[in-house]
Chains A and B, each alone.
Chain A
């Protein structure tokens, strides 16, 4: 069988060692067989030295193409209609890949099911593109890994060559256990925060408003926030409120955290924040709020709605706060930043880091560096007018006897 490598290239995936189950193997083997069995006579090159426009052999390729008719050796009798649809979909995707469209090479049965259940063509196309990019990323990662392994091997060889026999005795103060030590310290700090830290609530009540992929994104952002909290010098005591056991949120969190879920130093509860804390101390952070947050108050409990809305659903969290009669605030983005584009809804981890920074420093300019740079042009100069107001306030507060904290808080 003299098949050139070039011809086999599109079917290289068939050579990938994998163990498909019965149905699939059948299909692949037939396609492979079909392509192998197609006898490929080589075309003699017509070298016409005559004028090109006349004596050109234009239809020669058709005969060769037609001669490669494969005998239909597909013996797999498909009786089930669903199976038929899936097989047709698989074939369709394969053909689209030949066209150079953005579709994945390998598709599992579950993914096929999802594709055939897509409500519209555009949904199908989007999902295929998503799978395609995912596959590409995976391949790139693998290539990187292989390169690293190779580099390591090289380094090893090099070291083997120049192994010196005299082993110097060196003095060190510590053993290399840094990561573990860090984890210990963070654990201690986390326990401290659980006892004495300022509570910060993530409200998990938005599951019904989200699609599965949005829930996945929200959980990723929660993980990120929790990580930043752990590393901070003075962590919050995080609460996951309204987290129903065995809801999609809960399942995803447990899946992502694995065995660590039960050892996390935070409070996950089915209760709502209104049950846990006095209502007057709660402030719900939402971008739709009419009130602007001026300072970070250390005696309040801030709530962040853990809600990713790709198609922006305005007013959902504001409505929730209105229903429970909770005070609301929004970050003073317009006051400090020259907003350019993008929505003012920040991701959970961005809001969380802004709050952490405010808690530690209290300076908005520093805290707002976590707002993505693409969304604003730069910082606003605080205008003279507001400065004057600020100084006036200062004089009024200083007219009170020093040390009377109450007066100050009342002024706020």
Chain B
């Protein structure tokens, strides 16, 4: 069984961040590119035995290619059509983050943080030189946190503050000092500060607790991290990082049951686990030979599959090594790519098709009708009379092969008259004996400089047309007409339909919609007026995962 994972290439780093608020994991799969011979590598795991129980999925991890040179056609992949807007932005952000790690950020108005511990006179001197609105100690310790100064320097600062304040150190200084200790993995120091905090304050806030959890898990008193977690729970839901730290701690100290129960808790809170958490489970699994544990790991794989999450490279490696470490099964993993035909280059199996199952299809159709077109108020996007007219029209016609968004296509070529562009597209498609439906608005019928009457007449001869009111939205009609015609029907528009996707009620439906859109949307790529139509094919012949294949 095969998962296809988000790949990363050199020029653009596609980090597949499953962003559920936005409802899609942005992992463009460059499989539709027939022209490119991209050598991304995938992972495909084979077994020499037929598997008895579960349909396990095979992992395909696209990873960085080794051959960066002689890959001039690579740029096309980063211009994938669905990689627009937010997806593009995220990719850029990820890129920039990578670079920012190397560059040391210098902010204005900073203090030169000393590199060696100072005595009190020197601190006094520094304070005199400092001019700023906020207190000197806060500023210095913040700078230290930013520059990751050594613990001793911070300690000398705290000693100085305590000497001035009758041995009292403020809570914020303590917390930042604690952060530094945790960062430098000074466990004994962390324990000391922990004792002080426990003594001085009845309870701590979430930030300090998070840092403490992170500091305590590597010590012998790691179970106290769980108490900290309980304290966070009193006030809010802990973050996935808190859970990640606790799980890592539990696994580090061989307490598997605790780790799983924490994982369950994390899932129950509807949090999305960090990939590091999952990696920890897989890494730990190498040393364990236990059916129960491996079933749990397979559950994690199912979870990834169901939530469209893609492991990163390191996690993919962990999964591969875990599979190969199972005794008696003789799994073999390799990183491969998927060919254009949808076959895995490693074993030649065809990956799962991108088409929705009939139940999913019906479900999506009903949801689109109810949420996108109707949306609780039919007057928002259309009117009830128009909706009736449209339904009657759609049901009176036999199913279409292609539904065209007339206005979107017409405005594609800037230089041309709009009706002429539309006519070009329609006639070219009509020559292929396809049943066409052109959706538009009524103003297209009133003759003007952009809309010639005879050209519109020719369009109407070659295709069925439906004209909505000028203030209605035409996209919902487009979606419904396409869905209503059946699985073979495609639609042509450059619109990414993101606003309509956002109308859908939950992430699952949105994902179905996106999957269907990837399989059924055609986009006209050429903008030269007289050249032949060329579509960017969105249609992946398969989806980015597969059911079990047994060799």
Contact = CB atoms under 8 A, between A and B. Distances in A.
A6 B164 CA distance: 11
Interface stretch (B54-62, B71-79, B203-211, B316-324): B203-211
Contacts of A64: 162, 166-168
Given A40-B166, A56-B117, A65-B167, A319 B205 contact: no
Interface stretch (B153-161, B214-222, B338-346): B153-161
Contacts of B204: 95
Contacts of B167: 40-43, 61, 64-65, 67-68
A12 to B, nearest CB: 15
Interface string A44-78: 01101000110011111110111111101010000
A14 B195 CA distance: 27
Interface string A18-31: 00000000000000
B208 A95 contact: yes
A323 interface: yes
Nearest to B208: A95
Interface stretch (A83-91, A242-250, A339-347): A83-91
B416 interface: no
A70 B198 CA distance: 10
A42 B163 CA distance: 8
Given A45-B120, A52-B116, A61 B169 contact: yes
A121 B207 CA distance: 13
Given A98-B172, A290-B470, A66 B196 contact: yes
A319 B168 contact: no
Contacts of A98: 170-172
A322 interface: yes
Given A290-B470, A290-B471, A65 B236 contact: no
A99 B192 contact: no
Contact of A88 (B168, B192, B234): B234
Interface in B96-125: 116-120, 122
Contacts of B205: 92, 95-96, 99
B138 A52 contact: no
Contact of B169 (A6, A65, A96, A121): A65
B379 A320 contact: yes
B380 interface: yes
B539 to A, nearest CB: 33
Contacts of A316: 377, 380
A333 B204 CA distance: 54
Interface in B244-258: none
B162 A61 contact: yes
Nearest to B162: A61
A323 B203 CA distance: 57
B382 to A, nearest CB: 9
B35 interface: no
Interface string A155-184: 000000000000000000000000000000
A100 B235 contact: no
Question: Among B155, B167, B169, B383, which residue has the most Cβ atoms of chain A within 10 A?
Answer: B167
Given A66-B199, A98-B172, A7 B377 contact: no
B22 to A, nearest CB: 16
A372 interface: no
Interface in B234-291: 234-237
A58 B202 contact: no
A124 interface: yes
A45 B170 CA distance: 19
A40 B383 CA distance: 76
Contact of A65 (B138, B162, B207): B162
A409 interface: no
A171 B236 CA distance: 72
A227 interface: no
Question: Among A53, A61, A316, A323, which residue has the most Cβ atoms of chain B within 10 A?
Answer: A61
A322 B159 contact: no
A318 interface: yes
A178 B227 CA distance: 69
B530 interface: no
A315 interface: yes
B372 interface: no
B247 to A, nearest CB: 20
Contact of B171 (A43, A62, A95, A315): A95
A57 B118 contact: no
B162 A43 contact: yes
Given A65-B168, A95-B204, A89 B163 contact: no
Nearest to B199: A69
A68 B163 CA distance: 15
A386 interface: no
Nearest to A74: B202
B165 A6 contact: yes
Contacts of A57: 159
A384 interface: no
A61 B158 CA distance: 7
Contacts of B158: 61
A4 interface: yes
B235 A58 contact: no
Interface in A242-278: none
Given A40-B167, A290-B471, A316-B380, A56 B159 contact: yes
B200 interface: yes
Contacts of B116: 52-53
A397 B380 CA distance: 39
Nearest to A42: B166
Given A65-B199, A68-B200, A99-B171, A58 B165 contact: no
Contacts of A41: 166-167
B478 interface: no
Nearest to A98: B171
A315 B380 contact: yes
Given A4-B166, A91-B203, A58 B156 contact: yes
A84 B196 contact: no
Contacts of B199: 65-66, 68-70
A60 B162 contact: yes
Nearest to A38: B200
A147 to B, nearest CB: 22
Given A62-B192, A85-B234, A316-B380, A56 B119 contact: yes
B201 to A, nearest CB: 7
A85 B138 CA distance: 31
Q: Which 4 A/B pairs are nearest by Cβ-Cβ distance?
A: A64-B167, A61-B162, A319-B379, A95-B205
Interface of A: 4, 6-7, 40-43, 45-46, 48, 52-53, 56-62, 64-70, 72, 74, 84-85, 88-89, 91-92, 95-96, 98-100, 121, 124, 290, 315-316, 318-320, 322-323
Given A61-B158, A99-B205, A319-B377, 10 more contacts: A7-B166, A40-B168, A56-B119, A66-B196, A68-B168, A74-B202, A92-B235, A95-B171, A99-B172, A322-B383
Interface of B: 116-120, 122, 138, 152, 155-156, 158-159, 161-163, 165-172, 175, 192, 195-196, 199-208, 231, 234-237, 377, 379-381, 383, 470-471
15 contacts: A52-B122, A56-B159, A61-B159, A61-B169, A68-B199, A69-B199, A69-B200, A85-B234, A91-B202, A96-B207, A98-B172, A316-B380, A318-B471, A320-B379, A322-B383
